[in-house]
Chains A and B, each alone.
Chain A
Amino acid sequence: MFLQQIANALALGAVYSLFAIGFTLIFGVLEVITLAHGAVFMMGAFAGLIAVTKFNAGLASTLLASMIVPGLAGYLIDLIAVGPLRKRKFHHLAPMIATIGCATIITSTYQGIFGAEAYRFPFDFVPSTSYDIGGIQLTLLQLIIISISLFLMVVLIFFLNKTRWGKAVRAVAENPKTAALLGIPVEQVFRLTMSISSAFGGAAGVLTGLNFNTIHTFMGGPILHRGIAVIILGGMGDIRGAMAGGLILGFSEILSVAYISSDFRDAISFGLLFLILLVRPSGIFGKVIERKG
């Protein structure tokens, strides 16, 4: 029974990690907490749904759609809301508030278009076969979710470490002023980061939609505060932290549902968050926060 839960936890954790990676990347590079990440997650789920139901797309195209649409949204958010705030020196909370506004716009618009009901993927979009791997029963769906998540994470890490743009992103994350002096187009890097991160959020969205076979316009909310818990748990701005934190949260939720009660599952993330804030606010991989004079 416990082994079985591992499969569930891995699938859940993988998606949480995927979501959190985008979130933490934006914080690491732009130093902004985007509260629109839940909204782009929801956009990805719907984009995938439409790709399948209206365009009969296969898995790969669906995934692509679920990343491109939110990616564009992320680009626009930076273009219209977050970007202009960089040039004017406003209150440090201003960008966050702007992303809240963007989230509301996106969510309400989708609610106007799609209403409040839950949508499903077509019945056999992913055949319900399961495999036995080392004593654990993994459904094809779970395998797909875990492998796609892993794949995307590997691609991202490769991008960040081996490509020119990826290294530019890391340089800007380290120090934007220095990066600018080195000739790196910092504004474009910011936009790129927002786009990539939102794309990852969207991928997490469609995978979650597949995992629970439920897509609705309110799904951005619950994932958002789980994402926050994950990045604080893992350390803000740290990708390893997002991955580790996502898995930890996934396991915590599955195990608590299995062994304690399912009633409080939604509160687990907050409990973890609170615990970390009490004990080690910088998170697992975070640097200890110091004040400067």
Chain B
Amino acid sequence: MLKGEYITKDFGGLRVLGDVSFEVKAGSIFGLIGPNGAGKTTVFNIISGLLKPTSGRVIFNGKDITNRPPYEITSYGISRTFQNIRVFREMTLLENVLVGMHRLFSYSTFSMFFDLPKKRSEEKDLRAKAFEILSIVRLTEKADLKAESLSYGEQRKLELARAIATEPKLLLIDEPAAGMNPAETEELMEEIVHINGKGYTICLIEHDMKVVMGICSHIAVLNFGELIAEGSPDEIKANQEVIEAYLGKEEWSA
């Protein structure tokens, strides 16, 4: 479904990614792991169009999406969450999700001004749908609260809901388990598997190895901007280079 071909990114004199190639198969949960600073979020930024690669290509369902602007890439069916949670804090949960559903709205300024039936029906239907999406992440009771009133974990769920609202084919999730306790992490793993079960392909950046090994079908490992291993969880666990890269890091738990 998604292919990265020899993606390279230089920032001035610093090479952040070097010839990174990978493939995410449709329907899978793909894990992207590596020590801090390995370049994982940079890969996400390039896929979602926030950064332009110095060289290389990103192919999505056969279409070259390299260098396309973010809003266009979203229209092709890729959505994402952010490592440092970027929900719209002063908007309500429902509004956050409605913003995610941007693509599904089409009424004009004219319709808005004159309260035409098209506007009223779109608002009514899509609000109902937004409510449904909130129920997937179990946040419906807080639908009319401002996003900033949510706990950290809840905000992560909201971001996920908002990303799902864009009706993506591929969902890029950036470190969803960060800052979560074991119980929340369990819940998170279930949710991701559940979402995947509904047909969303998922690409996951994560440090928590329990999560990665638990739900990913395929994993790629980055270190210092280079792809050092790719394969199934078992293959990765046994890979000598990967073990060395992670040596001394507490997140590693086989």
Contacts and interface: CB of A to CB of B under 8 A. Distances in A.
A and B touch in the complex (CB under 8 A): yes
Interface of A: 290-293
Pairs A-B, 8 closest by C-beta atoms: A293-B45, A293-B50, A291-B50, A290-B51, A292-B50, A293-B41, A293-B82, A293-B44
B96 interface: no
Contacts of B41: 293
B44 A290 contact: no
Contacts of B50: 291-293
Output the residue of A290, A291, A292, A293 with the most chain B CB within 10 A: A293
Interface string B47-82: 010111000000000000000000000000000001
B48 A290 contact: no
11 contacts: A290-B51, A290-B52, A291-B50, A291-B51, A292-B45, A292-B50, A292-B51, A293-B41, A293-B45, A293-B48, A293-B50
Contacts of B82: 293
Contacts of A293: 41, 44-45, 48, 50-51, 82
Contacts of B51: 290-293
Contacts of B44: 293
B11 to A, nearest CB: 9
A290 B52 CA distance: 8
Contacts of A290: 51-52
Nearest to A288: B52
Interface class of chain B by DSSP: loop
Contacts of B52: 290
Nearest to B51: A290
Contacts of B48: 293
B173 to A, nearest CB: 13
A292 B45 CA distance: 7
Contacts of A291: 50-51
A101 B51 CA distance: 36
A31 B58 CA distance: 34
Nearest to A291: B50
Contacts of B45: 292-293
Nearest to B48: A293
Nearest to B69: A291
A53 to B, nearest CB: 52
Contacts of A292: 45, 50-51
A154 to B, nearest CB: 28
A292 B52 CA distance: 10
B68 to A, nearest CB: 13
A284 B50 CA distance: 24
A219 to B, nearest CB: 40
Interface in B111-169: none
Interface in B11-53: 41, 44-45, 48, 50-52
B243 to A, nearest CB: 30
A291 B48 CA distance: 12
B171 to A, nearest CB: 15
Nearest to B50: A293
Nearest to A287: B12
A40 B139 CA distance: 54
A290 B50 CA distance: 8
B142 to A, nearest CB: 25
Nearest to B41: A293
A286 to B, nearest CB: 14
A292 B70 CA distance: 11
A152 B29 CA distance: 62
Nearest to B44: A293
Interface centre among B45, B48, B82 (most CB of A within 10 A): B45
Nearest to A290: B51
A69 B27 CA distance: 68
A7 B104 CA distance: 62
B80 to A, nearest CB: 8
A191 to B, nearest CB: 29
B93 to A, nearest CB: 23
A292 B48 CA distance: 11
Nearest to B12: A287
